[in-house]
Amino acid sequence: MTTPTTGTDATRATTPAQAADASDVLAVAAKYVGVPYLYGGTTPTGFDCSGYVKYVYATLGISLPRTADQQMRATTQVPRSQARPGDLVSFVSGGRVYHNGIYAGNGMMYDAPKTGGFVSRRAIWTATVVYTRVSRS
Protein backbone atom coordinates (compact mmCIF):
# COMPACT_ATOMS: atom_id res chain seq x y z
CA MET A 1 0.00 0.00 0.00
CA THR A 2 1.21 3.50 -0.74
CA THR A 3 0.55 5.72 2.21
CA PRO A 4 0.01 9.42 1.84
CA THR A 5 2.63 11.68 3.28
CA THR A 6 1.83 14.35 5.78
CA GLY A 7 2.53 18.03 5.49
CA THR A 8 5.81 17.54 7.38
CA ASP A 9 8.80 15.32 6.80
CA ALA A 10 7.48 11.84 7.57
CA THR A 11 10.93 10.68 8.64
CA ARG A 12 11.43 13.43 11.22
CA ALA A 13 11.42 12.09 14.76
CA THR A 14 9.22 13.81 17.31
CA THR A 15 10.86 13.93 20.70
CA PRO A 16 8.85 13.01 23.80
CA ALA A 17 8.96 16.64 24.95
CA GLN A 18 7.28 17.73 21.71
CA ALA A 19 4.68 14.98 21.50
CA ALA A 20 1.35 15.16 23.27
CA ASP A 21 1.53 13.30 26.63
CA ALA A 22 0.03 9.85 26.03
CA SER A 23 -1.40 9.35 29.50
CA ASP A 24 -3.22 12.69 29.32
CA VAL A 25 -4.56 11.97 25.84
CA LEU A 26 -5.81 8.51 26.81
CA ALA A 27 -7.37 9.77 30.06
CA VAL A 28 -9.37 12.40 28.18
CA ALA A 29 -10.27 9.95 25.38
CA ALA A 30 -11.57 7.40 27.93
CA LYS A 31 -13.69 10.05 29.64
CA TYR A 32 -16.01 10.17 26.62
CA VAL A 33 -16.57 6.43 26.15
CA GLY A 34 -20.30 5.93 25.71
CA VAL A 35 -21.00 9.26 24.00
CA PRO A 36 -23.19 8.59 20.95
CA TYR A 37 -21.97 8.96 17.39
CA LEU A 38 -23.44 12.00 15.66
CA TYR A 39 -22.56 12.86 12.07
CA GLY A 40 -20.81 16.25 12.21
CA GLY A 41 -20.75 16.08 16.02
CA THR A 42 -18.02 17.99 17.82
CA THR A 43 -19.16 18.00 21.47
CA PRO A 44 -19.85 15.48 24.25
CA THR A 45 -23.53 15.46 23.26
CA GLY A 46 -22.41 13.58 20.11
CA PHE A 47 -19.18 13.06 18.15
CA ASP A 48 -18.18 11.93 14.71
CA CYS A 49 -14.69 10.45 14.42
CA SER A 50 -12.74 13.61 13.65
CA GLY A 51 -14.89 15.75 15.93
CA TYR A 52 -13.99 13.40 18.78
CA VAL A 53 -10.26 13.49 17.99
CA LYS A 54 -10.31 17.28 17.66
CA TYR A 55 -12.21 17.66 20.96
CA VAL A 56 -9.91 15.35 22.94
CA TYR A 57 -6.81 17.22 21.80
CA ALA A 58 -8.44 20.65 22.23
CA THR A 59 -9.14 19.73 25.86
CA LEU A 60 -5.36 19.44 26.22
CA GLY A 61 -4.72 22.77 24.50
CA ILE A 62 -3.72 21.27 21.14
CA SER A 63 -5.47 22.53 18.02
CA LEU A 64 -6.17 20.14 15.15
CA PRO A 65 -8.08 20.74 11.90
CA ARG A 66 -11.70 19.53 11.63
CA THR A 67 -11.67 16.58 9.23
CA ALA A 68 -9.94 13.21 9.56
CA ASP A 69 -8.00 13.75 6.33
CA GLN A 70 -6.85 17.23 7.44
CA GLN A 71 -5.86 15.87 10.86
CA MET A 72 -3.66 13.18 9.35
CA ARG A 73 -2.00 15.67 7.01
CA ALA A 74 -1.38 18.18 9.84
CA THR A 75 0.51 15.62 11.95
CA THR A 76 3.78 13.72 11.51
CA GLN A 77 3.62 10.21 10.07
CA VAL A 78 5.43 7.52 12.08
CA PRO A 79 6.09 3.89 11.14
CA ARG A 80 3.68 1.35 12.63
CA SER A 81 6.60 -0.06 14.65
CA GLN A 82 7.06 3.33 16.34
CA ALA A 83 3.39 4.12 16.98
CA ARG A 84 2.70 5.07 20.59
CA PRO A 85 -0.48 5.44 22.59
CA GLY A 86 -1.92 8.89 21.98
CA ASP A 87 -0.93 8.93 18.29
CA LEU A 88 -3.63 9.22 15.65
CA VAL A 89 -4.63 6.17 13.64
CA SER A 90 -6.12 7.05 10.25
CA PHE A 91 -7.94 4.59 7.99
CA VAL A 92 -7.04 5.20 4.36
CA SER A 93 -8.65 4.20 1.09
CA GLY A 94 -7.91 5.69 -2.31
CA GLY A 95 -5.37 8.08 -0.80
CA ARG A 96 -7.94 9.68 1.53
CA VAL A 97 -8.77 9.17 5.17
CA TYR A 98 -12.29 7.85 5.73
CA HIS A 99 -12.04 7.33 9.51
CA ASN A 100 -9.71 8.06 12.40
CA GLY A 101 -9.22 7.55 16.10
CA ILE A 102 -6.69 7.73 18.91
CA TYR A 103 -4.22 4.87 19.23
CA ALA A 104 -4.51 3.21 22.66
CA GLY A 105 -1.64 0.73 22.16
CA ASN A 106 -1.64 -3.04 21.62
CA GLY A 107 -3.73 -2.83 18.45
CA MET A 108 -6.52 -0.88 20.16
CA MET A 109 -7.94 2.60 19.61
CA TYR A 110 -10.55 5.02 20.90
CA ASP A 111 -12.99 6.27 18.27
CA ALA A 112 -16.50 7.39 17.45
CA PRO A 113 -17.48 4.63 15.00
CA LYS A 114 -20.69 5.23 13.00
CA THR A 115 -24.37 6.05 13.23
CA GLY A 116 -25.92 3.98 16.01
CA GLY A 117 -22.55 3.52 17.72
CA PHE A 118 -20.87 5.06 20.72
CA VAL A 119 -17.36 6.24 21.50
CA SER A 120 -15.46 3.16 22.62
CA ARG A 121 -12.08 1.50 22.94
CA ARG A 122 -11.87 -1.25 20.34
CA ALA A 123 -9.53 -3.22 18.11
CA ILE A 124 -8.08 -1.74 14.95
CA TRP A 125 -9.68 -3.96 12.31
CA THR A 126 -7.36 -3.50 9.33
CA ALA A 127 -3.70 -2.97 8.50
CA THR A 128 -4.60 -0.23 6.01
CA VAL A 129 -3.90 2.56 8.47
CA VAL A 130 -1.46 5.42 8.87
CA TYR A 131 -0.12 6.38 12.30
CA THR A 132 0.71 10.01 12.96
CA ARG A 133 2.10 11.90 15.94
CA VAL A 134 0.50 15.05 17.27
CA SER A 135 2.96 17.73 18.34
CA ARG A 136 2.35 20.32 21.03
CA SER A 137 4.13 22.98 18.99
**Enzyme catalytic residues:** 49, 99, 111
* Residues 6+ away with beta carbon under 8 Å from 121: 30, 33, 104, 108, 109, 110
N residues, the chain: 137
